[in-house]
Homo-oligomer: A and B are copies of this chain.
Amino acid sequence: MPPKDLISAAKGQHPCDLLLNHARIVDVFSGRIVRGGVGIADDRIAGVGEYPARQTVDLEGRFVAPGFIDSHVHIESSMACVTEFARAVVVRGTTTVVADPHEIANVLGTEGIRYMLESAQGQPVNVFYTLPSCVPATGMETAGARLLAADLEEFFTDPRIVALGEMMNYPGVLQGDPDVLEKIEAARRHGKPVDGHAPGLSGRDLLAYVAAGITSDHECTTAAEAREKLSAGMHVMIRQGTGARNLAALLPIVSKRSARRLMWCTDDRHPHDLLNEGHIDSIVAAAIRGGVAPLTAIQMATLNPAERFGLTRLGAIAPGRQADLVVFSDLSAPQIEAVYVRGQLVARNGRPMPGLTKPDPGPAAPCMNVNLEALDFAVSASGRRVRVMEVVPDQIVTRQSTETAPLAGGHLVSDPSRDLLKIAVVERHTGSGRIGIGMVRGFGLQRGALASSVAHDSHNIIVAGVSDPDMRAAVTAVVRMGGGLAAAAGGELLAGLPLPVAGLMSVEPVPVVSAALDRLLRAARGLGSPLTDPFMTLSFLALPVIPALKITDLGLVDVNEFRHVALFM
List A residues at the B interface (Cβ < 8 Å).
3-4, 6-12, 27, 29-32, 34, 44-49, 173-174, 176, 181, 184-185, 191, 193, 203-205, 207-208, 210-213, 215, 227, 230-233, 256-258, 260-261, 295-296, 307, 310, 312, 316, 318-321
Contacts and interface: CB of A to CB of B under 8 A. Distances in A.
Contacts of A11: 174, 204-205, 207-208
Contacts of A208: 7-8, 10-11, 47, 319
A554 B193 CA distance: 50
Contact of A47 (B9, B181, B184, B204): B204
Nearest to A258: B30
Contacts of A204: 10-12, 47, 49
Integer count of this chain's copies in the complex: 2
B3 A176 contact: yes
A207 B319 CA distance: 6
Contacts of A321: 233
Contact of A29 (B181, B185, B233): B233
Given A29-B233, A47-B208, A191-B191, 16 more contacts: A3-B211, A7-B211, A10-B210, A11-B207, A29-B258, A30-B227, A32-B231, A44-B211, A47-B210, A208-B319, A213-B320, A215-B312, A233-B316, A233-B320, A256-B256, A310-B310
A15 to B, nearest CB: 13
Contacts of A258: 29-31
Given A30-B227, A257-B256, A211 B176 contact: no
Nearest to A227: B30
Contacts of A316: 233
A307 B310 contact: no
B210 A319 contact: yes
Nearest to A44: B211
Nearest to A193: B312
B203 A49 contact: yes
A47 B312 contact: no
A34 B231 contact: yes
Contacts of A231: 27, 29-30, 32, 34, 48, 318
Contacts of A212: 3, 6-7, 320
Contacts of A27: 231
A114 B319 CA distance: 34
A307 B312 CA distance: 12
Contacts of A318: 210, 231-233
A467 to B, nearest CB: 49
A31 B181 contact: no
B7 A174 contact: yes
A230 to B, nearest CB: 5
B230 A29 contact: yes
Contacts of A193: 312
B312 A6 contact: no
A176 to B, nearest CB: 4
Contact of A207 (B30, B49, B184): B49
Contacts of A185: 3
Contact of A257 (B6, B30, B191): B30
A232 B310 contact: no
Given A47-B204, A47-B208, A184 B3 contact: yes
A174 B13 CA distance: 11
A531 to B, nearest CB: 38
A31 B257 contact: yes
Nearest to A50: B204
A176 B8 contact: yes
B191 A10 contact: no
Nearest to A205: B11
A3 B230 contact: no
A181 to B, nearest CB: 5
Nearest to A182: B3
Contact of A46 (B8, B30, B207, B233): B207
